[in-house]
Structure 1
Amino acid sequence: METEEAKEFIKQNVGNKKIILHMLAVAAIMRELAEYFGEDAEKWELTGLLHDIDYEKTKENPERHGLEAENILKNKVPPEIIQAIKAHNFEYTGIKPETRMEKALIAADA
């Protein structure tokens, strides 16, 4: 999935405009961080863009936030993006952030 395709996917799957704006902001931060660290800016931006794709579906069950995203995004994005999304809610999922991208997503989402 490319960035523009992801934006359309978000429009179809996220109804709350404030959440969409938040996702766009996190994506922009992730792109800048990737460029700073010499990482794959497209991948990092896509991670930020999709990190809350399941938020509306899981807001009553925060322990599912990130995990449900895996079901939504499976076979649409690389596994490292899904892993970063799951790790950004580590307090509930128990999935420890390990990579630079996973840690950057937590910082960008703060």
Structure 2
Amino acid sequence: RLSQPPSSSTCNSNPASSAMIQGNSESFQNNSANNENSKGNSSSTWKQTPGVHTVKQSMKEDQFYMKKIKVMSQHSSNYRDQTVAMVKTKVIRQQVAEAEVTHMRTK
């Protein structure tokens, strides 16, 4: 909640707090002027640190990607095994078919 300047505040009668408010507003104005002057200088620009939500979201994404990679590697392994098994069964079926053909020719 933004505090109002001491001149318009009716409930703020403490001189120490009004001086603190004036000091805060002066430092804010000085920082604004400094930021406007330093916009061209990229090394002095201030970057906001990521918030808690952003950090948690990135952690969730990392965990999701790790799980995805794990599932994909298992799937590719299973797929590889299935492909090898299918090739073996194909070879066996071809051998059986050839044996049946040779058996039929000998009769």
* TM-score normalised according to structure 1 size: 0.27
Flag the structure with larger Rg.
2
Greater RCO, CA 8 A, separation 6+ = 1
Q: TM-score, normalised by structure 2?
A: 0.28
